[in-house]
Structure 1
């Protein structure tokens, strides 16, 4: 069974196309677990209109705005929203999904093949601005770390490109009470309990705009202090939890 876990917040512009790209690749016994962080637009109406039993929707109680004032408060809100979906997941294989991307038709099939040899897989994506391709390969552009040590320099874990097995999921829950991205935390857990594979295969279109949950490199803050704090929290998470 596959569980696709998605966090939503005011995603009415993109959620329909993303869900269609996901559902077309799932079997009748799979599920899409949606956690909504308090949308005030038509996001939930659009999801409900699918009338698809595979979609399970949960509301995050006492959530803060996903458009929070500080880098870390926004990160923590997104992390709680994804955790609310992940704790409901029943599948042996878990995919993370943002509300505003489009999966390529072969994504699920190819990731399942790669997960036969690894506990966690991160694939490549094309970065889009509307219909224009900005970067044909995110990995070529960003050049993330591909080893356990180098992940502390440039983390390769972008949630919308990740899938992992239940062993990784169970090791990651509950999320620690520390300022760390949900995808980075899951990646750290994957390294601690199993193996990680970075696949140079473009399996998704990432659409760049202001509310993405998994920001590309240039959307992340350039503040040196924030960068250092991120690495510090990563190290604490790896050593303490």
Structure 2
């Protein structure tokens, strides 16, 4: 069984196309869990109009996308978990390809196509060269972005609960996989990853200690990394 976690908030412009692309990938026994974080637009009307039994909807007021995803991860029933933003588009074959790799690996990070708010292609391939996995590589420069992740319940078990001051659930899940599982990066471009002014996520290429592109100060990055490292050390000893 596959569980897809989608966190929504004022996503009326793109969410219908995204949900339809997800549902086309799912079997009757799979589920799409949506947690809406207090939308004030037509997001909930669009979701409710779909009338699909695989869709389970929750209403929250976190005003925090990380808390919203954590809530969803605590609700999943499936053996395999996919994360989804509200404004991307899944490409046909995404679930099948990821599940084939999840028979051997615990977490899959796929490539993607970058598009803008008008569906124009920005980059044909986000990863021009596939990044290598590795705890210290990821600690320096995060390669994991949530909308391109699929993982099993082994990783789910270790990544919950999220640390209180976590600033990147994507990186947290990826680092858990580096410590407690077996991750893989694949070349397949399995979503159209939408980059526009209204969405939360920033490019993972900007999340590194030394870059003029980073929206964070060096002090902020170091502080966040050390906070995450402290909690990762705790996870490392779980089950020993």
TM-score (norm 2): 0.88
**1:125 alignment partner, SS class:** strand
Match of 1:231 in 2: 225
Distance in 2 separating the partners of 1:37 and 1:89: 18
Conserved? CA contact 1:144–1:154, under 8 Å? no
1:209-224 equivalences in 2 (<5 Å): 209-216=196-203, 217=205, 221-224=215-218
* Cα 1:127/1:208, change in 2 over 3 Å: same
TM-fit CA distance, 1:149: 1.4
Q: Which moved more, 1:43-52 or 1:216-225?
A: 216-225
Match of 1:181 among 150, 168, 175: 168
CA RMSD of aligned residues (A): 1.8
1:67-78 equivalences in 2 (<5 Å): 77-78=64-65
TM-fit CA distance, 1:220: 5.6
Which runs of 5 or more structure 2 residues have no equivalent in the other structure?
A: 207-212, 236-240
TM-fit CA distance, 1:238: 1.9
Match of 1:156 among 127, 134, 143: 143
Match of 1:132 in 2: 120
1:32-47 equivalences in 2 (<5 Å): 32-47=32-47
Conserved? CA contact 1:102–1:206, under 8 Å? yes
TM-fit CA distance, 1:222: 4.6
Aligned length: 227
Conserved? CA contact 2:131–2:143, under 8 Å? yes
Q: Deviations over 1:140-196 (max 9, x none)?
A: 27x755212100111111000000001111111111213331111111222222101
Determine if the alignment matches structure 1 residue 82 to structure 2 residue 69: yes
Conserved? CA contact 2:34–2:56, under 8 Å? yes
Q: Which moved more, 1:37-46 or 1:221-230?
A: 221-230
